[in-house]
Amino acid sequence: MKTQSNLSVYFRLLRPQTAAMLSSILLVSALVMGQRDIFLLFILFIIGLFSHFFGYVLNDYADIEIDKKSKDLKEKPLVSGIIPKQHAAFIVIFSAIVGFTLTIVVFRSVYSFLILGIAGILGGSYNLYGKKIPGSEILVSAGLSFYCIFGASTVSLNIPNTIYIIAILFFIDSVFMHVVQGGIKDADHDFLEKAKNITTLWGVKVKNGKLIIPKSYIAFSFFLKFLFLFFVILLGIQPGLNIWGSNQYLVQIFVILLLIMVFFLTYKFLYIKTFDRSKIKRLYAGINSAALALIFIMLIPIIEFEYIAFLLFLPITWYMICNKLLYGKALEPQV
């Protein structure tokens, strides 16, 4: 590893490049509920950042021994030993304290506090036991849905169906991200370590540099995307949106184009023949960005365009800037 400042190494441990994506989920659910107070939205953004730090540092802490099996991950801060495990544990605890403290002090809602706690427990359980308990990817995906509901609960507990449908979309997308994308990305060392996740148990593995993906696994992956499509259609007919039955042709065009992009990139992702972590990570980023943009654009009828533009601009720009600063490549972090 090249000589670098301690601060840079700690930032790599936090994996800030995707932190704005979780914050955006909290923001969009609050905006759907009518929240327009910039200060309160900013606090939600901060809670999202620290929730992200909590989850990813805990994940790296739990996976040190497994990650050591991959030559591609030898430079990760905890794997290389540059950052002591005790420091990572402190970051996890501190991040949780910041999130819960801001929630109770600023929003003064016991219910929001409890919902955030459920989200944290679900996500934390996956990070600790994700490679040991089959199907634990469902836990972190459910946790993401609770983060969405948490953002809405800071405005009102009278939560409409639109929020629940958005939460389900994030759930499905997260299952795909952790089971399919994350599973394939880590297939080289997860298989060697005999990790008990869905991907490894299904038979996905790397043999002599070739990525082997069973057809039934590919079918399951596309099932998730078609389930995502179903709830996209359902979201579009909710009161206040009515995308499919109105003259919102521009929104319709963008949604259809993004859906095509999601399915095309998914196809490319699932039919990679040679295990190429760099290519896998680029397709990973493309699929996630298109899916997130699709959900946000569908909410234009109930959220002012300037907020939607900000939500679209923030995660992608944040992702590229963080990657460029920390890894030298805008679309290829070393994770």
Residue 31 clears pLDDT 50, i.e. is over it = yes
Rounded to two decimals, the pTM is 0.90
Q: Which of 180-184, 249-253, 305-309 comes out lowest in average pLDDT?
A: 180-184
Q: What is the pLDDT of residues 39-68, one digit of tens each?
A: 999 999 999 999 999 999 998 998 887 777
Residue 329: burial class (beta carbons within 10 Å; 0-12, 13-18, 19+): middle
Per-domain boundaries in the chain: 6-327
Q: How confident is the model at residue 4 (pLDDT cuts 50, 70, 90)?
A: very low
Q: How confident is the model at residue 333 (pLDDT cuts 50, 70, 90)?
A: low
What one-character DSSP code corresponds to residue 177? Answer: I
Crossing angle for the helix pair 38-62 and 6-14, to the nearest 10 degrees: 100
Report the pLDDT value the prediction gives residue 334, as an integer from 0 to 100.
59
The sign of the CA dihedral 55, 288, 319, 210 is: positive
Report the pLDDT value the prediction gives residue 277, as an integer from 0 to 100.
83
How high does pLDDT run on average in the chain? 90
Q: Which of 34-43, 63-72, 214-223, 259-268 comes out lowest in average pLDDT?
A: 63-72
Report the pLDDT value the prediction gives residue 331, as an integer from 0 to 100.
64
Query: What percent of the chain has pLDDT above 90?
Result: 63
Q: How confident is the model at residue 193 (pLDDT cuts 50, 70, 90)?
A: low
Nearest one of 330, 36, 294, 308 to 170, comparing CA atoms: 294
Report the pLDDT value the prediction gives residue 311, as an integer from 0 to 100.
94
Report the pLDDT value the prediction gives residue 270, as an integer from 0 to 100.
94
Q: Which of 116-120, 126-130, 230-234 comes out lowest in average pLDDT?
A: 126-130
Q: Which of 22-36, 93-107, 192-206 comes out lowest in average pLDDT?
A: 192-206
Residue 70: burial class (beta carbons within 10 Å; 0-12, 13-18, 19+): middle
Q: Which fold has domain 6-327?
A: Tetracycline Repressor; domain 2 (1.10.357)
Measured between alpha carbons, how far is 163 from 152 in angstroms, rounded to an integer? 7
Lookup: tokens for 279: 């290519």
